[in-house]
């Protein structure tokens, strides 16, 4: 028995009538959030370069794939074998420069061919737009980056990072005007435009905005811990600590973390 068969046998045992009540009750929708959470945990392990955690989290993500396949098989929709075989067919079809006679100059041409072949696949539903294939439930930063990446492949893009910087300055001015008018709806729209432009700048600089923001979140958290630590040592509540003292500790923490 190979490891995949062993895993499927364990899943079958868990979902059997005399198995685990929780596993038996699950549906695609009920465990959807688990896949999202496990994916973010894997991303964190990769960012931290923690190999042991990566191995564990990859297993947790793979469990979600197997779980969904087991539910689908029990409902007579598809099996794990079908999932894997369809994936194999897709990989071969979308890499004609490896498995066929096509040739490419670089990775950018590979991406363009990949998108062209996706549009030709007869198994895909007819799309009204090149943006139709981008899932709407993606996190907003990732969604924005995907939109920009797709449109850039058909030539709708900024020429360079400097031109995006000018757009960011323009968006800041428009946000300031909305703030002056105290229009909540307009302020929300302008904040969205500003963030979208910053995502564009990150993409131009070949920086993943999601990773960049997570890095800043972690940095902020580490430095804020220093403020909490100082408040505890001084035996005072955070709310009672003067803002000037918080700022002093924050500035000192910048040199350490």
**29-38 pLDDT, tens digit each:** 999 999 989 9
- pLDDT score of 124 more than 70: no
Nearest to 10 by CA among 75, 82, 19, 69: 19
**Least confidently predicted of 1-5, 63-67, 215-219:** 1-5
What value does the mean pLDDT take over residues 89-109? 87
The tens digit of pLDDT for each residue in 37-65 reads 999 899 889 988 999 999 999 999 999 99
pLDDT of residue 104: 82
The pLDDT of residue 116: 77
pLDDT in tens, 131-185: 887 888 888 999 999 999 999 988 999 999 999 999 999 999 999 999 999 999 9
The helix-helix angle for 3-15 and 51-74 (nearest 10°) equals 60
**CB of 130 closer than 8 Å to CB of 124:** no
Query: What is the pLDDT averaged over residues 108-125?
Result: 71
- pLDDT beyond 70 at 122: no
The number of residues making up the chain comes to 257
Q: Does residue 103 have a pLDDT over 80?
A: yes
The token duo for 58 is 């990859």
Q: How far apart are CA 53 and CA 58, in angstroms?
A: 8
> How much is the pTM?
0.68
| d(C-alpha 70, C-alpha 13), whole Å | 11
């Amino acid at each position: 028995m190979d490891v995949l068969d062993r895993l499927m046998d364990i899943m079958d045992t868990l979902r059997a009538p005399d198995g685990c009540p929780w596993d038996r009750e699950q549906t695609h929708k009920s465990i959807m959030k688990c896949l999202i959470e496990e994916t973010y945990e894997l991303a964190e392990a990769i960012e931290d370069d923690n190999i042991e955690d990566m191995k564990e989290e990859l297993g947790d993500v793979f469990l979600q794939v197997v779980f969904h396949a087991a539910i689908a098989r029990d409902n007579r929709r598809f099996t794990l074998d079908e999932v894997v075989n369809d994936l194999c067919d897709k990989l071969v079809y979308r890499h004609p420069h490896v498995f066929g006679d096509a040739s490419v100059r670089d990775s950018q041409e590979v991406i363009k061919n990949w998108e062209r072949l996706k549009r030709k696949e007869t198994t895909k539903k007819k799309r009204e737009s090149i943006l139709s294939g981008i899932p709407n439930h993606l996190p907003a930063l990732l969604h924005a980056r995907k939109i920009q990446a797709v449109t850039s492949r058909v030539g709708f893009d900024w020429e360079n990072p400097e031109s995006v910087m000018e757009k960011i300055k323009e968006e800041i001015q428009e946000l300031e005007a909305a703030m002056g008018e105290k229009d909540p709806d307009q302020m929300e729209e302008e904040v969205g435009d500003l963030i979208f432009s910053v995502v564009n700048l990150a993409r131009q600089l070949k920086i993943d905005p999601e990773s960049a923001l997570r890095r800043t979140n972690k940095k902020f958290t580490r430095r804020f811990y220093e403020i909490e630590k100082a408040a505890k040592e001084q035996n005072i509540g955070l709310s009672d600590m003067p803002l000037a003292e918080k700022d002093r500790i924050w500035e000192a923490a910048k040199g350490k973390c």
